[in-house]
Amino acid sequence: MGATVIYLDNAATSWPKPETVYTTMDSFLREKGANPGRSGYDMAVAAEQVIEEARTLVARLFNIPDERDVVFTLNCTDSLNLALKGILHPGNHVITDSIGHNALVRPLRRLERDGLLVTRVPPSSEGGFVSPDAVRQAIRPATRLIAITHASNVSGVIQPIEEIGEVARKSRVAFLVDAAQTAGVVPIDVQASHIDLLALSGHKGPLGPPGTGVLYISKRVEVEPLKEGGTGTVSESEEQPLDRPSRYESGTLNSVGIAGLGAGLKYLLAKGIETIRLYELDLLTSLWEGLAANPRVTVYGPKDGADRVGVVSFRLLGWSPGEIGAILDQAFDIKVRTGLHCAPAAHRTLGTYPEGSVRASIGCFNTSDEIGAFLEAISQIARAEPVASARTQRTAQHTPSEGHEEGQLSWQRLPTT
């Protein structure tokens, strides 16, 4: 990776991290690397204090009234599986959207095979928003849960969770929000939005390392744990403890990862979510407008940055998404995501299935110069033509994947004039 790399794949994982994330994780392993909460000696106590501090920071960020309702998981997928499989049973009815990531879609499909009833509410054709009225009309006597993707990882559209949460509360239905793309990026208040279950990853907007996730579980819902085991509490009992968060945190936690997550959260809280949001909105506006100005580019999702997170998906006439991604990587050292983004349902809704799209997703460490360089690279590709064998060329070292399904590409770069 070159010194001038431009990273525009923050919707997959944020990079780089704040410097304090790196130093905190290093010092944690060197100085506090014992098993947290399992012993009374100083290192173990210090490790547990770091985890509990991170738990308090999560509660502060999302206005969670009791930090004991914050459960650490492996990632957002882990959180969603716990939320869905911990409360749903055959015969229950769930209302969800049709723009979700496979982290939400696949567990629901699995439960559906076992007798769960699912209604998928499509977004409006105008702005891509799920209508609270449509959600209200879909409620049945058997409805147990409303599960909403807060923001699409394909179109970036932010859903009106406060209004949908109001529908859920008035109907006495539990409300689950998949905040993988919004946590740490836009303000979320679990009390104002009547959220019962908030699932998020720690390695995206919260700026922590991979292998970290969170599930907030309101006291209004009863969630059965998916696993049992050692918790460091009530060790004399062979039954899983009922107290939170121990009930859901069996086994040794990713303590060094949670330490890094805590450092990321401190960075966010010091900078201010609103400040970061405004900064990213400026970059997002430049990115969207620059792409939309190119007549060969089709941009998906709303133009108004206030209605979306920093995710922009697009197609370039004459090129497949995989070809664009490979050229950006190999010729410009620009990192984007291409293909279906683990969200085929969203692409079917947008009409970009099965090839998908090119996705550029910004983060708080991107700059306006990087956005300009990206737009110039797209402009150059749009003016170029692939050589005759470009679509069939492969190298022995390259294995096609969702990200670069076309392999190594030859192309003719045109001079910038």
Q: Check whether residue 148 and residue 173 sit in a common domain.
A: yes
Residue 283, domain CATH: 3.90.1150.10
Q: What is the mean pLDDT of the chain?
A: 89
Domain boundary, last residue among 219, 243, 271 = 271
Report the C-alpha gap between 10 and 110 in whole angstroms: 29
Number of residues in the chain: 417
311-316 and 357-361 beta bridge pairing: antiparallel
pLDDT the model gives residue 270 = 97
Burial 365-386 (b: 16+ CB within 10 A, else e): ebeeebbeebbebbbbbbeeeb
Residue of 177, 186, 185, 242 whose CA lies nearest to 214 = 177
Report the C-alpha gap between 168 and 174 in whole angstroms: 6
Q: Check whether residue 263 and residue 340 sit in a common domain.
A: no
Q: Check whether residue 115 and residue 259 sit in a common domain.
A: yes
Q: Check whether residue 251 and residue 289 sit in a common domain.
A: no
Q: 3-state DSSP call for residue 338?
A: strand
Query: Do the domain assignments include residue 403?
Result: no
pLDDT band at 126 (very low <50, low <70, confident <90, very high): low
The residue type found at 374 is F
Query: Do the domain assignments include residue 141?
Result: yes
Catalytic residue among 43, 221, 273, 342: 342
Query: Do the domain assignments include residue 372?
Result: yes
What pLDDT digit, counting tens, does each position of 36-59 carry? Answer: 877 788 898 999 999 999 999 999
Structural domain count of the chain:
2
pTM, entire model:
0.90
pLDDT the model gives residue 153 = 87
Residues 6+ apart with CB under 8 A from 360: 8, 287, 311, 312, 314, 336, 374
Rg of the chain (C-alpha set):
22
Query: Do the domain assignments include residue 415?
Result: no
With 50 as the cut, is the pLDDT of residue 314 above it? yes
With 70 as the cut, is the pLDDT of residue 415 above it? no
pLDDT the model gives residue 331 = 94
The percent of residues above 90 in pLDDT, for the chain, comes to: 72
What pLDDT digit, counting tens, does each position of 2-16 carry? Answer: 458 999 999 999 999
With 80 as the cut, is the pLDDT of residue 386 above it? no
Tokens at 91, concatenated: 């015969």
Largest CA distance in the chain: 76
pLDDT band at 163 (very low <50, low <70, confident <90, very high): very high
Mean pLDDT is lowest, of 86-95, 266-275, 299-308, for 299-308
Report the C-alpha gap between 135 and 119 in whole angstroms: 9
Residue 267, domain CATH: 3.40.640.10
Report the C-alpha gap between 46 and 44 in whole angstroms: 5
6-7 and 334-335 beta bridge pairing: parallel
Domain boundary, last residue among 271, 297, 312 = 271
Q: Check whether residue 184 and residue 322 sit in a common domain.
A: no
With 70 as the cut, is the pLDDT of residue 411 above it? no
With 60 as the cut, is the pLDDT of residue 413 above it? no
Give the CA distances from residue 7 to residues 93, 288, 337, 365, in Å, rounded to whole numbers and listed in that order: 41, 17, 10, 9
Q: Check whether residue 213 and residue 293 sit in a common domain.
A: no
End-to-end CA distance of the chain: 28
Q: Check whether residue 209 and residue 345 sit in a common domain.
A: no
With 90 as the cut, is the pLDDT of residue 112 above it? yes
Query: Do the domain assignments include residue 417?
Result: no
Query: Do the domain assignments include residue 409?
Result: no
Q: Which residue has the higher pLDDT, 210 or 227?
A: 210
With 50 as the cut, is the pLDDT of residue 394 above it? no
pLDDT the model gives residue 325 = 95
Q: Give yes or no: 342 in active site.
A: yes
Owning domain of residue 291: 6-15+273-383
Q: In what order do the strands lie in the sheet with 311-316?
A: 297-300, 311-316, 357-361, 337-339
pLDDT the model gives residue 395 = 33
pLDDT band at 410 (very low <50, low <70, confident <90, very high): low
With 80 as the cut, is the pLDDT of residue 230 above it? no
Query: Do the domain assignments include residue 152?
Result: yes
Q: Check whether residue 249 and residue 112 sit in a common domain.
A: yes
| Rounded (10°) CA dihedral 390, 391, 397, 402 | 140
With 70 as the cut, is the pLDDT of residue 217 above it? yes
Average pLDDT over residues 333-345: 87
With 60 as the cut, is the pLDDT of residue 396 above it? no
Q: Check whether residue 47 and residue 108 sit in a common domain.
A: yes
The residue type found at 236 is E
Q: Which residue has the higher pLDDT, 179 or 237?
A: 179
Mean pLDDT is lowest, of 134-148, 203-217, 248-262, 396-410, for 396-410
Report the C-alpha gap between 121 and 132 in whole angstroms: 10
Residue of 176, 166, 235 whose CA lies nearest to 200 = 176
Residue of 214, 158, 210 whose CA lies nearest to 187 = 158
Domain boundary, last residue among 271, 301, 317 = 271
Average pLDDT over residues 234-239: 74
Q: Check whether residue 350 and residue 213 sit in a common domain.
A: no
Query: Do the domain assignments include residue 301?
Result: yes
pLDDT band at 412 (very low <50, low <70, confident <90, very high): low
Q: Check whether residue 27 and residue 175 sit in a common domain.
A: yes
Residue of 128, 109, 177 whose CA lies nearest to 149 = 177
pLDDT the model gives residue 36 = 87
Beta-bridged to residue 315, according to DSSP, are: 298
Q: Check whether residue 243 and residue 373 sit in a common domain.
A: no
Give the CA distances from residue 239 to residues 147, 222, 229, 324, 382, in Å, rounded to whole numbers and listed in that order: 30, 17, 9, 54, 63
**Using the 8-state DSSP alphabet, how is residue 65 labeled?**
S
What pLDDT digit, counting tens, does each position of 262-283 carry? Answer: 999 999 999 999 999 999 999 9
